[in-house]
Amino acid sequence: MNHIVSLKWLLARMYEPDVVIVDCRFLMGQPDAGRELYEASHIPGAVYLDLERDLSAPVEEHGGRHPLPDIFDLTVAISRVGISNESLVVAYDDQGGMMASRLWWLLKYLGHEQVFVLDEGYTAWVDAGFPTSSQQKTLIPARYLATVQHNMLVEMDEVKELLGQDRVTIIDSREGPRYRGEVEPMDKVAGHIPGAINRFWKDGLSDNGAWKGADAQSERFADLDRDGELIVYCGSGVSATPNIIALQEAGFSKVRLYAGSWSDWISYSENPVAVGDEEGKKHVK
């Protein structure tokens, strides 16, 4: 796989000087839990980046529940933990790769190529008997120069303009009941962006939590136009990122993130909302 590395791969390289291991564990609704888990035990030498403090901007009226961080602030955050343009970054979490994928996407957005997500996550690392530590690494700041890849991102206005276009597929990464508008535990309005199809991000993982290979990912998206444009979203722009990795593993190249996602979309009261399945069953309100 191009963007995922195995536990044994990291074990063999974890002490190489250019490798930066980043712990991204975070529990929604428990903003301090990830940091506390990191302080108690982590992969030796790992640094910690927090989803809400480091990998998101403060919440405002628009932009969703996890707005993209300011480019300068993000560059400062990753430089502070020792990530330079030459670093090989391996991100991990214990949430199926969702938080690690957010960092993966952000670094790619800054123009960084050598960034990977650790397969299976921290619990699998511990269960394998690999080393852990509670000692925090002394941070030696690095210098990172961003080359922002604006083509990876799509804003709300453009999503709205592209609704209904034949060569554009909008992919909702949330679980089926949230996509269909049957439940909504996080946001004020239930439903999905009209015309979006549903591909739950966790379907990219095997039963044991390992990432599926390229062939299996291709099967998940077999009905999609490989030459068409794909726009991926979720609730707040976090769980969409594992689907972006899966799509790239499957060979899709025209993939963009709607970072504000559903929580941004519904912050504009005039935006249309669909419920139900898109296969002839939806209605728009």
Same domain, 90 and 141: yes
**Domain final residue, candidates 120, 148, 176:** 148
Same-domain pairing of 11 and 144: yes
Are 112 and 19 found together in one domain? yes
Count of beta carbons in the 10 Å neighbourhood of residue 277: 14
Give the active site residue among 83, 99, 190, 234: 234
Same domain, 204 and 94: no
Helices marked H in 110-257: 122-127, 156-162, 176-180, 214-220, 240-249
Q: Please indicate, yes or no, whether residues 11 and 82 belong to a single structural domain of this protein.
A: yes
Asked if residue 187 and residue 76 are part of one domain, the reply reads: no
∠249-92-42 over CA atoms, to 5°?
Answer: 160
Cα distances (angstroms) measured from residue 284 to each of 46, 94, 217: 47, 37, 30
CB contact at 8 A, 262 and 235:
yes
139 shares a domain with 16:
yes
In this structure, the answer to whether residues 143 and 54 fall within a common structural domain is: yes
* Residue after which a domain boundary falls, among 148, 175, 209: 148
Residues 117, 217, single domain; the answer is no
Same domain, 142 and 166: no
For residue 202, the model assigns a pLDDT of: 98
Angstrom distance (rounded) from CA 28 to CA 3: 25
* pLDDT (0 to 100) of residue 279: 63
For the chain, the maximum distance between any two Cα atoms, rounded to a whole number of angstroms, is 57
71 and 183 in a single domain? The answer is no
Residue 35 sits in a domain of what CATH number? 3.40.250.10
Residue 243 contacts residue 232 (beta carbons within 8 Å):
yes
At residue 76, the 3 state secondary structure works out as: helix
Given 104, 125, 148, which residue is the final one in a domain? Answer: 148
Q: 272 is written with which tokens? A: 């249309």
Q: Which of 66, 54, 68 is nearest to 139 (CA)?
A: 54
Element (H, E) at 33: helix 33-40
Q: Which tokens in the block code for residue 265?
A: 């979309």
When divided into structural domains, the chain yields a total of: 2
Q: In this structure, how many other beta carbons lie within 10 angstroms of the beta carbon of residue 53?
A: 15
**pLDDT tens by residue, the chain, 285 residues:** 799 999 999 999 999 999 999 999 999 989 999 999 999 999 999 999 999 999 999 999 999 999 999 999 999 999 999 999 999 999 999 999 999 999 999 999 999 999 999 999 999 999 999 999 999 989 999 999 999 999 999 999 999 999 999 999 999 999 999 999 999 999 999 999 999 999 999 999 999 999 999 999 999 999 999 999 999 999 999 999 999 999 999 999 999 999 999 999 999 999 999 999 986 443 344
Contacts of 275 (CB under 8 A, 6+ apart): 180, 181, 190, 191, 192, 282, 283, 285
- Three-state DSSP class for residue 239: coil
Which single residue is written with the structure tokens 């343009």?
85
**24 carries an active-site annotation:** no
Q: How far apart are CA 194 and CA 122, in angstroms?
A: 37
CA nearest 152: which of 95, 237, 56? 237
Q: Which residue segment(s) compose the domain that 272 sits in?
A: 151-284
Residues 266, 214 share a domain: yes
